[in-house]
Chain A
Amino acid sequence: MKSASAFIDDLVARFWRRVERATETDAESLACFRVFYCIAVLYCWAPYFSWINRVPAGFFAPPVLSIAKLFPRFPPFPFFALLDGVLLVSLVCMAVGFRTRWFTGVYLVGLIVGQSFQYSFGKIDHSMVELSIVLAMLIADWGRAGSVDALLGRVAASPTAELRRKQGLGLFAVLLAFGMLTAGVPKAVDWLDFDLSTSGVLCWFYPNREAVGRVYLLANFVPHAPRLLLELGDYGAIALELSGFLALLGSARWFRAWLTVATLFHVLNDLTLNIPFLAQLLTYTAFVDWRRSVPRGASLVVGLTRAPALVGVGVISGAAALYHLVVRWWFGGGSIIVLAPGDKAGDVVELYITLVIGLAVLILLIRETKNRWSGPIDPSNQGAAGALTKDESGLVSR
């Protein structure tokens, strides 16, 4: 019995060691990611739930297993308006790194509550990546560097800081790979038929074009695509979605390469099927070494340790939050995107924004992958337990 337990412990330890080696980035890169992610979310994907108070309560049909099921109807006004306010302020505080952990926790709880009600219209959007990254960053404590907290000396030296950062990144990678697996398995069952007279890709195209008018960017070219290309699209999606764990357990190099292909996949989805996965794309940059892979990344890392840069981050993120609050609270409208109306035109803007940011993230990840493959040492090729490293407090760990 004891040996079985030891065997499982060993297996689990091996699994996490591999995950750790594939996902490692430093605290400064995580600080850059925090600023980039929060600002991008504020401008292009801001949490927006106050619209729920503008629809009749009769639409309330929560999933059986969700927080919303505990309520008899949608909470009354001004619940969602206040929730939007709390989430937007939390994002600004997270961006500048002010009480970062506290506001990350508030943001996570608020997002779960808001989404529980938003998904009470008979459909659950699969936004787990958005929640997973916030949970992961709460664990990783992404405000330890390049933040107001660090500037004010609120970040206490801790021997577990490095471990927590690795835990956050490792957990996020596992959740992402598992999420992709849940998308790939049903596709493999339904689409893997080696039959050119059926197309899985088209089941995402025609019904959505017909019902909600997805006809933008390159969508009109889809029906004219060669049959073989459509079939290869089916298999490509399946291969990508089933291979997340392989890449993650392979090495840091393979995992970055997989993230690059996943980004390309999302960009193609946006272009052809008009399905924007913007929030998911943004999260992939958590695994980028910003110093090496981003132009002027080293200056950015240094800049974030100084007050003027953080004031700049505060002004940029605060402006977006203020815009959303004024439009929602004052004018009673709003959307998830700054300066885009919340109707069909807003949806089209979302597609273009996803394309532009998607291409930027793709270039970033290509550079990151190239650096990993051309670098002298791949962390995954080091010894089984990884190299000795110093955490922020100077303590040597493993």
Chain B
Amino acid sequence: MSQGSLFSTRFTLALAIYLLGGAALAFFTPFEPFPAVMLPGGGEPVPIKDGVARFESVGLWGRTPEGEKKRIVVSDFLAPIPDYYVFGVARTGFGYTNPKPRKVELGPFVFRVSQPERSREMRREVVVWLQHRLHEAGLAEDSLMVRKDEIEIDMASDRELARKRLSEKRFRIH
């Protein structure tokens, strides 16, 4: 250790490699390690034109027994899973389908990392759980949709002006 220093040069270099390495993986690949020293960053700024804000949002939808689409209250539906995990849960196949291999591009190199497959037993457990949750929400037990919308809001009145569906992933729960 250098005289009068809290930590040695060797420790400091190791710390720098750990900190910068973790951050580099998180910023430039889909493989953010845990634990890494990271705090929540930014996101695409919301454009505002003539007092109208436009943004994208992910929501869960089901069908009523009459066949109408109905928005699901995420916190009730996912509990005890924290509601803000909804984006991650949706991205990883909602515990129902096998997640797709993750594509990684590092300059000219492109490779895919496979995700763990869900066994028949695991899938069955998810089906029962989802059906129960849909039933509790008064919805048909065989249909769940993860929908990405583009929403326009008039900021002065805080009223929704338009909603455009960008994508919709349907899960047949059976």
Contacts and interface: CB of A to CB of B under 8 A. Distances in A.
A20 B95 CA distance: 48
Interface residues of B, number: 77
Interface in A12-30: 12-13, 15-17, 19-20
Interface stretch (B37-45, B61-69, B134-142, B166-174): B37-45
B106 interface: no
A115 B35 contact: yes
Contact of A63 (B5, B31, B57, B74): B31
A157 B59 CA distance: 59
Interface stretch (A31-39, A176-184, A246-254, A304-312): A176-184
A193 B48 CA distance: 13
A370 B23 CA distance: 35
A51 B8 CA distance: 42
B46 interface: yes
A275 B116 CA distance: 32
Given A126-B38, A170-B6, A190-B43, A211 B55 contact: no
Given A122-B87, A220-B158, A12 B79 contact: no
Interface string A48-66: 0001001111111111111
Interface string A231-256: 00010000001000000000000000
Given A163-B6, A210-B57, A121 B116 contact: no
B53 A202 contact: yes
Contacts, number: 241
B129 A56 contact: yes
A283 to B, nearest CB: 12
B122 A73 contact: yes
Contacts of A182: 23, 26, 37-39, 41
Interface string A65-105: 11100001100000000000000000000000000000000
B83 A54 contact: no
Interface string B76-96: 100111011111111111011
Given A58-B122, A211-B57, A211-B59, A121 B92 contact: yes
A223 B53 contact: yes
Interface stretch (A292-300, A339-347, A373-381): A339-347
Nearest to A275: B40
A186 interface: yes
Q: Specify the main secondary structure of chain A where it touches its partner.
A: helix
Contacts of A119: 34
B41 A199 contact: no
A122 B37 contact: no
B34 A63 contact: yes
Contacts of B109: none
Contacts of A385: 4
Interface string B124-159: 011011000000000000000000000101011010
Interface string A219-231: 0100110010000
Contact of B99 (A13, A61, A347): A61
Contacts of A223: 53, 153, 155-156, 158
A237 B45 CA distance: 14
Contact of A60 (B23, B75, B91, B116): B116
A189 B42 contact: yes
Interface in A170-209: 170-171, 174-175, 178-180, 182-183, 185-187, 189-191, 193, 196-200, 202-208
B113 interface: yes
Nearest to A57: B122
A260 interface: no
B86 A211 contact: yes
A8 B5 CA distance: 12
A203 B7 contact: no
B151 A210 contact: yes
Contact of B5 (A16, A128, A208): A16
Given A17-B4, A182-B41, A191-B42, A65 B31 contact: yes
16 contacts: A56-B122, A57-B122, A64-B102, A64-B113, A115-B35, A122-B88, A128-B39, A129-B39, A170-B6, A179-B37, A182-B37, A182-B41, A190-B42, A198-B45, A205-B46, A227-B48
Given A20-B6, A203-B44, 16 more contacts: A17-B4, A58-B126, A61-B99, A63-B32, A64-B102, A119-B34, A122-B89, A124-B32, A163-B6, A170-B6, A171-B6, A190-B43, A199-B48, A206-B151, A207-B56, A211-B59
